């Protein structure tokens, strides 16, 4: 079947096959990846390779550190605030469900100023730069590159006038090239685009770590985690291993992020073209200039039809198309690992369904 689930999501088939091959006996380790010490040479190489792959894909300089942490992107909402907000204020751009959670958590640790709020428009777009109300004294500006639930994505990152820019990249990480030099901190739960659940990739500018206050719980202290190369305690070894395989696949099989982006655009265009060409039978949630390449959200004329659509699609091997419970409708999550054929099959199904019911 084609799996359009929002996360945990489709992984590349070559990655699953390789993991299967190596599951019982990791080459040179005499045991499974899940059975070896995180202080072993074999794991060291896995850890280093995953970091190196991410650095290569994003052209990272030495100014940045890649970390593998736990607690998901959700714990990053708190960790960011505990490390960089205490006693200050920060600007948050509110574009939907995930930005909202980031804001709620940050408020527990400092002052949050909402630089723009898309709520009144029902979160159908990202802001223009001239709409942002930025505070010159903000410790940082936080935004969500892709709102997984609403299907709203920034085509380019916001301009924030030199303020440290923090981004929740969970659902569009490594979906295309990014100029990381514009960012101070990026985090992404792996299970949308780069691996299984259990690990969150954090990329931080090393000079930012000087601001981390003393006395934080060790597991929530970026500086300590960085000093220990994410090996302060046992890391999620198996998840990091799969992130390594996925990022190798992005580099070697897909040919880097420019090509990944072109592939993603082609896939998303198939679906948006079907929506736009349906004469209003399918209605996209996001405004055209804020449409997500990763999560295509749309509605049908009635809820009953949406139910039927989802049911019939599942029966035909197109699974996971139900929209998030908070917004309803349909959502096709088409991350990096979704093949073009999956989007073609969904497009064909949409056309057929409309012929029967439209």
Ligand X SMILES: *Cc1c(COP(=O)(O)O)cnc(C)c1O
Rounded to an integer, what distance in angstroms lies between the CA atom of residue 197 and that of residue 80? 20
307 is known as an active-site residue: no
- Contact between 282 and ligand X per CB under 6 A: no
| 15: alpha, beta or left? (left if phi > 0; alpha if psi -120 to 50) | alpha
- Smallest Cα–Cα separation from 234: which of 206, 261, 198? 198
In terms of CB distance, is 69 or 300 closer to ligand X?
69
Interface residue with ligand X, options 47, 109, 163, 192 (CB under 6 A): 192
Q: Which of residues 5-24 bind ligand X (CB under 6 A)?
A: 7
Judged by CB under 6 A, does residue 222 bind ligand X?
no
Active site residue 98: yes
Q: Are 43 and 237 in contact (CB under 8 A)?
A: yes
Minimum CB–partner distance for residue 144 and ligand X (Å): 5
Helix (H, G, I), strand (E, B) or coil at 69: strand
Which residue is catalytic, options 51, 91, 163, 192? 192
For position 300 contacting ligand X by CB under 6 A, the verdict is no
Nearer to ligand X, 7 or 164 (CB): 7
Cβ-based nearer residue to ligand X, 72 or 177: 72
Q: Does 96 bind ligand X (CB under 6 A)?
A: no
189 lies in the site for ligand X, by CB under 6 A: yes
* In the complex, minimum distance from the CB of residue 276 to ligand X, in angstroms, rounded to a whole number: 25
**Residue 168 touching ligand X (CB under 6 A):** yes
Neighbouring-strand partners of residue 217: none
Q: Which of 14, 72, 339, 358 binds ligand X (CB under 6 A)?
A: 72
* 187 binds ligand X per the rule CB under 6 A: no
Q: How far apart are CA 192 and CA 288, in angstroms?
A: 23
DSSP β-bridge partners for residue 165: 141
Of 10, 78, 83, 171, which one interacts with ligand X (CB under 6 A)? 171
* Total residues in contact with ligand X, by rule CB under 6 A: 12
Q: Is 168 a catalytic residue?
A: yes
- 150 in contact with ligand X (CB under 6 A): no
Work out which of 52, 74, 117, 228 binds ligand X, going by CB under 6 A: 74
Q: Enumerate binding residues for ligand X (CB under 6 A).
A: 7, 72-74, 98, 144, 148, 168, 170-171, 189, 192
Q: Which residues are catalytic?
A: 98, 168, 192
């Amino acid at each position: 079947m084609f799996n359009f689930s929002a996360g945990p999501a489709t992984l590349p088939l070559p990655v699953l096959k390789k993991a299967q091959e190596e599951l019982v006996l990791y080459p040179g380790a005499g045991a499974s990846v899940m059975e070896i010490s995180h202080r072993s040479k074999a794991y060291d190489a896995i850890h280093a390779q995953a970091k190196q792959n991410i650095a290569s894909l994003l052209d990272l300089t030495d100014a940045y550190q890649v970390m593998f942490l736990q607690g998901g992107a959700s714990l990053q909402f708190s960790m960011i605030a505990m490390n960089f907000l205490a006693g200050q204020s920060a600007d948050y751009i509110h574009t939907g469900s995930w930005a909202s959670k980031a804001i709620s958590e940050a408020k527990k640790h400092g002052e949050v100023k909402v630089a723009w709020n898309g709520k009144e428009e029902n979160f159908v777009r990202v802001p223009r730069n001239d709409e942002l109300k930025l505070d010159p004294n903000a410790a940082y500006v936080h935004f969500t590159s892709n709102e997984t639930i609403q299907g709203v994505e920034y085509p380019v990152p916001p301009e924030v006038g030199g303020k440290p820019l923090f981004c929740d990249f969970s659902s569009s990480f490594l979906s295309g090239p990014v100029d990381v030099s514009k960012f101070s901190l990026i985090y992404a739960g792996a299970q949308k685009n780069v691996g299984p659940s259990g690990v969150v990739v954090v990329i931080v500018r090393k000079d930012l770590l000087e601001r981390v206050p003393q006395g934080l719980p060790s597991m929530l202290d970026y500086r300590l985690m960085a000093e220990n190369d994410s090996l302060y305690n046992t890391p999620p070894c198996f998840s990091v291993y799969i992130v390594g395989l996925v990022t190798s696949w992005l580099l070697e099989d897909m040919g880097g992020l420019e090509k990944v982006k072109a592939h993603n655009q082609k896939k998303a265009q198939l679906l948006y073209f079907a929506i736009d060409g349906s004469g209003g039978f399918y209605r996209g949630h996001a405004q055209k200039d804020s449409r997500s390449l990763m999560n295509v959200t749309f509605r049908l004329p009635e809820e009953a039809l949406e139910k039927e659509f989802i049911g019939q699609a599942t029966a035909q091997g197109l699974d996971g198309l139900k929209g998030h419970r908070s917004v309803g409708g349909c959502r096709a999550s088409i991350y990096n690992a979704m093949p073009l054929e999956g989007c073609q099959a969904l497009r064909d199904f949409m056309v057929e369904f409309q012929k029967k019911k439209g």
